[in-house]
Amino acid sequence: MSATKLTIIALAIAFVEARFGQEGLVQAEISALPFGDPGVAATLAGQSPGVLLAGAGPCEKLLLADEIVAQLGDDPAVIAAAISLVAAERNFNPSAVDTGDICADPSLPATEALRGIVPLFDPAVDGSDVENANSATSVQTPFDAVGLSVAEVAIAQGFTNFRAIDAAGTEVALAGLGAGAGAGAGAGDGAGAGDGAGAGAADDAAEDDAAEDDAAAGCNAGVDDAGDANAGDANAGDANAGDANAGNDDEADAGGAADFGLCDPTIRFEGGLGGRPADEFTFQSNDPAIEANQQEALNPDIIVNRICDELNNICEANDAAINACTAAQQSLKDQGLGVGDGEAVVTAFNDLILAA
């Protein structure tokens, strides 16, 4: 191999390591924080690389950033470390998708000092130069984020080549997203926007050109255009305004019974979890399989978000169950229940989830 080729390869490796070495830098910054109970900063730091991997949802790092502040306090050094995590670039698999994703949950991050910050993006993505410049600016002077998700802030600042993903891991359509990134989400969001319709309705809408057009414009293909979207469709009888999953089996409809499959969807608030002192209470899933995949947390939204994800990933739950989980999660937020509310959170969430 020529010296020139070796030099090019070495430079390419150095470039990759320089970019993704940020994972270690963020982890080290969090681990070095001299706040909170012994070992807590190191535990939180150990979770940071995982939320920057391609397999993690983009909202997970925002939940962890909130957890860092919740557990370690609001000292400027803590806020700075949490900001580093919010702004950090996430990996994505360019062989599977042509761009990365950004969190589309307007409630995240919940910590006011972390809002208005947009993330770095892989330089291979068209338009990332705009996003990366915006990210550097936002770390110093956050953008206006009142009522907006991080994804919406990114769009407002001129970056549109990405996929918007909500806290449940579902792709959603946002006004202003570029055709390349937003086309796939248009039908999905349109089909669900009116009544929380499931992914099946999005699939039906995408199969029909007229419904796809309406969905991309934010219309509910299953409600406003039921006759248009499903004319001649084998599922036309299911595509009514009260049907939450027109393209799937009736059992998975939001109006049907929730089936949580292999898992217990409830939560608990317990002292001494994860080696903590007996008088230190945190939230955790009641299901052993879900608990094995998620450390206990002071912020109940982290646990609930994991439960909603795992209902889809490992529990074999139906769409009605997953929809019930995300609805219960949103209800907690609407009621202002979260860190510090203990058993009130447990009661509210478990009552809602078990009533589904």
Calpha distance 184→168 (Å, rounded)? 17
Contact 139, 82 (CB under 8 A): no
Residue 90 CB-half CA count within 13 A = 27
Could you check whether the bond before residue 109 is cis, i.e. omega within 30 degrees of 0? Answer: yes
Q: What would you measure as the largest C-alpha separation in the chain, in angstroms?
A: 68
Give the ranges where 88-208 is alpha helix by DSSP (H).
128-140, 150-156, 179-193, 199-207
**pTM for the full predicted model:** 0.52
pLDDT score for 64: 96
Give the ranges where 314-341 is alpha helix by DSSP (H).
319-334
Calpha distance 209→342 (Å, rounded)? 49
Sign, CA dihedral 13-19-25-27, equals negative
SS3 category, 345: helix
Contact 217, 206 (CB under 8 A): no
Per-residue tens of pLDDT for the chain, all 356 residues: 555 544 444 444 343 333 445 557 888 899 999 999 999 999 998 888 888 887 789 999 999 999 999 999 999 999 999 999 999 998 877 777 889 999 999 999 999 999 999 999 988 899 999 999 999 999 999 999 999 999 999 999 999 999 999 999 999 999 888 743 333 333 333 333 333 333 333 344 334 443 344 433 333 333 334 333 333 343 333 433 334 333 344 333 445 789 999 999 999 999 999 888 888 899 999 998 999 888 888 889 999 999 999 998 999 999 999 999 999 999 999 999 988 899 999 999 999 998 88
pLDDT score for 36: 92
pLDDT score for 7: 47
pLDDT score for 23: 59
Q: List beta partners, residue 282.
A: 270
Place of tokens 């009260």: 242
DSSP state of 294: S
SS3 category, 280: coil
